[in-house]
Amino acid sequence: MKIISDALELKQELRECKGAIGYVATMGALHEGHISLIKAARSANEIVVVSIFVNPTQFLVGEDLDKYPRRDEADKKICELAGVDFLFMPKAEDLYFEDEVKIAAPNVRGYILEGATRPGHFSGVLRVVMKLLNIVNPANAYFGKKDAQQLHLIELMVKHYFMDVNIVAVDTLRDSDGLALSSRNVYLSKEQRQEALKISKSLYMASSMVSRGIVDVKVIQKEMYNILAPLEIGYVAILSRDFKAIEKVELGNTVILVEAVVGTTRLLDNIWL
């Protein structure tokens, strides 16, 4: 595995490689969820590139950029063991320029749900993902369904900017009790973890209601709120897969998203129907 921090050097190396490139963008502190993305890339491409970059432009003022976990040495080992060919670890000054041209998240879909509480976050995500995709130039880039809104906005960017990359959506990994894997789960006490299970339970309940023919969004949301109580709920949203409001669930074109706070930990989960 080659570790590279210079964007132009990586571009040059990759130009000399033969075969399809599969790419996984990360901010490091790698866990099973990231490994499943790397495995998906490994199984379908000749060359696998992973990047680790804690992107400052997607953190708002006052957010925990400085506290974001950095585990470079452990991450390097994980990548090596997972069969990564190139690990790209740039610094902010390697990627960003003074007074640079910026891409911005769409006014509506970039500012609902996660974007409502973190306005500008998705502009930072798209800005860095555009750069990374242009540097790596992969045939396939892998993103987790767990960050459904991020995934959707990246798909939109690729479409709207006529970019030549196939975005592959990878299923969310769950613990055996149903809790979606997240680096934040370590902050949960045993009791809080039990509380957090209400999130996946509410999503399973929604799915079971739909399979029983109950498709009215308001009816499903009400039942989900009942299950989630007394958690502090950020949102319970039932949208079309292009993140637009719907009144009835349409199988094959619906995503149900929950954000809830357990203790002080903000957890996200979703289910695609």
Query: How many whole angstroms separate alpha carbon 253 and alpha carbon 271?
Result: 11
Q: Please, is 20 exposed, middle or buried when counting C-beta atoms within 10 Å of its C-beta (0-12, 13-18, 19+)?
A: middle
Cα 116-216-225 angle, rounded to 5 deg: 55
Site string for ligand PAF, 117-156 (x = CB under 6 A): --------x--xx-----------------x--x------
d(CA 69, CA 53): 11
Task: Report whether 35 contacts 134 (CB < 8 A).
Answer: no
Residue type, 178: G
Write out the binding residues for ligand PAF, residues 42-71 only, by CB under 6 A. Answer: 55, 58
* Rg for the chain, CA atoms, rounded: 19
The residues in 219-258 that bind ligand PAF, with binding defined as CB under 6 A, are: none
24, 124, 157 from 13: Cα distances, Å: 17, 27, 26
79 binds ligand PAF (CB under 6 A): no
> Is position 26 an interface residue for ligand PAF (rule: CB under 6 A)?
yes
Q: Which of 31, 34, 121, 160 is catalytic?
A: 34
- Name the minimum Å distance from CB 186 to ligand PAF: 17
Separation between Cα atoms, residue 187 and residue 105, nearest integer Å: 30
Total number of residues that touch ligand PAF (CB under 6 A) = 10
Q: What is the DSSP letter of 239?
A: E
How many Cβ atoms from other residues are within 10 Å of residue 74's Cβ?
12
With respect to ligand PAF, which residue has the nearer C-beta, 41 or 273? 41
If DSSP codes are grouped into helix, strand and coil, which group holds residue 87?
A: strand
Is 31 marked active-site? no
CB nearer to ligand PAF: give 147 or 269: 147
Q: Which of 133, 146, 109 is nearest to 269 (CA)?
A: 146
CB of 4 to ligand PAF, least distance (A): 17
Least distance CB 126 / ligand PAF (angstroms): 9
One residue of 1, 27, 44, 112 binding ligand PAF per CB under 6 A = 27
Q: Give the span between the Cα atoms of 144 and 36, in whole angstroms.
A: 9
Nearer to ligand PAF, 165 or 197 (CB): 165
Q: Which stretch binds ligand PAF (CB under 6 A): 20-28, 75-83, 172-180, 219-227?
A: 20-28
Q: Given the complex with ligand PAF, which of 171 and 216 has the nearer CB atom? A: 171
CB of 37 to ligand PAF, least distance (A): 10
Residue 10 CB, nearest distance to ligand PAF (Å)?
16
**List of residues contacting ligand PAF (CB under 6 A):** 25-27, 55, 58, 125, 128-129, 147, 150
Catalytic residue list: 34
